A = this chain, B = another copy of it.
Amino acid sequence: MSAADRDALLLQLEIDGFNARYAAALDERRFDDWPQFFLAQGEYVVQARENFDRGLPLALIALESQGMMKDRVYGITQTIYHGPYYTRHVVGPALLLGEEDGRIRAQANYAVFRTRPGDASEVYNVGRYIDAFERTPAGLKLASRRCVYDSEMVLNSLIYPI
């Protein structure tokens, strides 16, 4: 196997594994683990596709550091009054888009299903992760994850991270 093939294989494995761990943390409601998938200055944006496609800046959520993410988690778990629900992420194999300035670019399609107590599961939010990863001593971390969702009507308010 050529060195390039080997590296591509290992990177694919690493990113798909990253996405599986990310999904597991959220779906298992280990929200305190969530900011650790990002760099300290990592960026997390949830944006409607309509705005993304037109290059418009408006986003539903835009967090610009781990600190803001921790604050968000505190809000979710301690202060926001909301009807509880489960989430379940099904994420397809990532599409690797190359490396630039030390950042690995990738994207992956996701479907998030929501289940409210006593109710059937429903499609909650579908879209794609547009990611930039950096390699750190603690493994890959997100410099940026942009969740660009198709769903124009967000079912109730979007509480938990996507």
Question: Interface of A with B (CB < 8 Å)?
Answer: 1, 5-6, 8-10, 12-13, 16-17, 19-21, 23-24, 27, 49, 86, 88-96, 107-111, 113, 115, 117-128, 150-153, 155
Contacts and interface: CB of A to CB of B under 8 A. Distances in A.
Chain A binding surface, main DSSP class: mixed
Closest 8 CB pairs of A and B: A20-B95, A115-B150, A86-B150, A88-B126, A121-B151, A16-B93, A113-B126, A121-B126
Contact of A90 (B92, B94, B119): B92
Given A91-B109, A121-B125, 20 more contacts: A9-B9, A9-B10, A12-B13, A12-B16, A20-B94, A20-B109, A24-B95, A24-B128, A49-B86, A88-B126, A88-B150, A89-B92, A90-B90, A90-B91, A90-B109, A91-B93, A111-B113, A115-B152, A118-B152, A119-B153
Most chain B beta-carbon neighbours within 10 Å: one of A12, A92, A94, A153: A92
- Copy number of this protein in the oligomer? 3
A151 B107 CA distance: 28
B113 A17 contact: no
Q: In this complex, which of A13, A20, A113, A126 has the most chain B Cβ atoms within 10 angstroms of its Cβ? A: A126
Contact of A88 (B89, B109, B115): B109
